[in-house]
Structure 1
C-alpha cells in the first residue's frame, strides 16, 4: 500500500492512497535514509535529473535523491521500494519512490521527500520517525508503472531553441530499465547521430537534423542489456520547447 503525507506547522498527517507502483521479488539491500526540507512535502524542481516541475509531483511526490544509485544520471527515473527496519515505527511495505535528484548525507543512499519519508512509518508514528532524522533501511529496485503511461515518454526541454539547439528530458521509462544512449537519425548522411547526456535525464544536440526526427534509445534492464529500440513516432519537423511526446516503445 502506498501512503501520502500532509505537512503543516505542527507536523505531518498520513493519508492512505491507492498503490502506484508494483514491485518485483529481487533481494533487498541494507542502507540508510534521511529526508530533506520541503515546505509542501513534495520534491524539488531543481533536482539534478533535470525533471523540473515534473520532478516535484511525479509518483504523488514520493521521490528521493540518491548517492551512488544516481550513476551519472542513468539512475534518474528509477523506482525503488524502501522500507525502514525498526518494527516499532516502520511499516512492512515502506515507501515506493522515484529518483529525481542526486545527493549524499551521513552515509545514506536515499534522501527522501518528507512525503516519501513519512510513508516509511506505521500510521500515527511518522513524527517519531522524523525525530530520528536518519534511519536504517533496506531497498530494492522495482518496476516503474504509471497509470496511462506504459511507453517511453519525453519532453522537449524548455531550454531548447528551435531549430538550432534541441534538448530532451526522459520523463517516463517503464519497467526496470535505464536509458544509456540516445541517437537521432540523420537522413542526409544515412546514419545515427548521438545526443550528449547534458545532465541527469537530459540529452541534447546542437544543430539537429531538419525535418521529422527519428529517435532511438539504448536500453538496459528488464528488456535486455544494450538493446536499441527505435521510436517510429519521434519528433515533428516543427518541435517546440516544453511539449511532451509519447513514443510507441513498450519496455515490458
Structure 2
C-alpha cells in the first residue's frame, strides 16, 4: 500500500547549455553510471539518458531528474525536431587538463549534458560533436512503480531508489522495519541511501521526499520479511 501527497510538477523554464554524447548507438557504455541504477533497461530508464556536469549532478542529488533538450543555433540541428527527453543517470566529470571551452565541457561552472548517442541523434547530427542546446526540467513519466534495490548486510542497509516519477529526484529517504520506528537514512552516493540498523527478518516500508517539490510518498511493506540483498522490490504506485 502506498500513500502519496501530490502537489503536481509542471517543470521549469528553458535555459541555455551545451550537449555532447558518449558511447555508441547501442548505448552499452551508458549502462551503470554514477547514480547506481545498474542496467538502465531493468531499472526503467532505457537509452534516453544523459550524464550531467557536476553543476547539475550536485553529488547525486540530481539523479533521476528528467530534461527536455532541444538543439539550437547550429547547422547540425535536425529541422522540425522540437526536443528529446532524457533522464539523468550519470555524472560527466570535470576534465581539468582541458580548457572549459575546448574539451573540458563538464568543468564547473558549465551546465552540460553528455547524452547517450541514441538520445543525441534524435536532435542533431552526431558528427557535430558538441551543440548548443536549450533545456528544461520536466515531469518524469514512469511505469511500474518506484523500485527499491537492497544492498548491504545484516547491520547496514543500502537502498537504491529507481524509476521515480514526478520530479524524479530525491531529497531524503526513511525506512521502517515491521518492528521499528521510521529511521532516517543518510545519502551515500548517487541515488542510494543507507541506514546502519539491523533490519533482517522484518518487512520494510519506505518514505521518500522529492528534492524539487518536497512531495512525500510512503510505500508500506514493499519488501517482505524474508527480503534479501541484491533483490529489487517495487511499490504499487509512483509519483505522477
- 2:86 equivalent in structure 1: 97
8 Å Cα contact 2:43-2:147 kept in structure 1 = no
Please list every run of 5 or more consecutive structure 2 residues that lacks an aligned counterpart in the other structure. 1-8, 94-103
1:116 to 110, 116, 119: 119
- 2:155 equivalent in structure 1: 164
Whether 1:230 and 2:189 are equivalent positions in the alignment is no
1:86 to 73, 82, 86: 73
- 1:40 equivalent in structure 2: 26
Question: 1:27: Cα distance to partner?
Answer: 2.1
8 Å Cα contact 2:183-2:195 kept in structure 1 = no
Q: Residues 136 and 56 (structure 1 numbering): CA distance in 2 closer, same or farther, change over 3 Å?
A: farther
Whether 1:201 and 2:195 are equivalent positions in the alignment is no
- 2:99 equivalent in structure 1: none
- 1:155 equivalent in structure 2: 149
Q: Residues 103-155 of structure 1, C-alpha deviation per residue, up to 9 Å, x if partnerless?
A: 1442451011111111112xxxx2xxx22211100001111113x32x32222
* Structure number with higher relative contact order (C-alpha < 8 Å, ≥ 6 residues apart): 2
8 Å Cα contact 1:177-1:219 kept in structure 2 = yes
- 2:169 equivalent in structure 1: 178
Question: 1:53: Cα distance to partner?
Answer: 1.7
Q: Residues 249 and 71 (structure 1 numbering): CA distance in 2 closer, same or farther, change over 3 Å?
A: farther
Q: Residues 38 and 233 (structure 1 numbering): CA distance in 2 closer, same or farther, change over 3 Å?
A: same
- 1:242 equivalent in structure 2: 230
- 1:17 equivalent in structure 2: none
Question: 1:200: Cα distance to partner?
Answer: 0.3
1:213 to 185, 199, 204: 204
Question: 1:98: Cα distance to partner?
Answer: 0.9
Question: 1:208: Cα distance to partner?
Answer: 3.1
8 Å Cα contact 2:15-2:136 kept in structure 1 = yes
TM-score by length of 2: 0.77
Find the aligned partners of 1:199 and 1:251 in 2 and give their Cα distance: 22
Q: Residues 145-188 of structure 1, C-alpha deviation per residue, up to 9 Å, x if partnerless?
A: 13x32x3222224xx33x33322111111112421111122566
Find the aligned partners of 2:46 and 2:216 in 1 and give their Cα distance: 31
TM-score by length of 1: 0.74
Question: 1:234: Cα distance to partner?
Answer: 2.5
- 1:251 equivalent in structure 2: 239
How many residue pairs get matched?
214
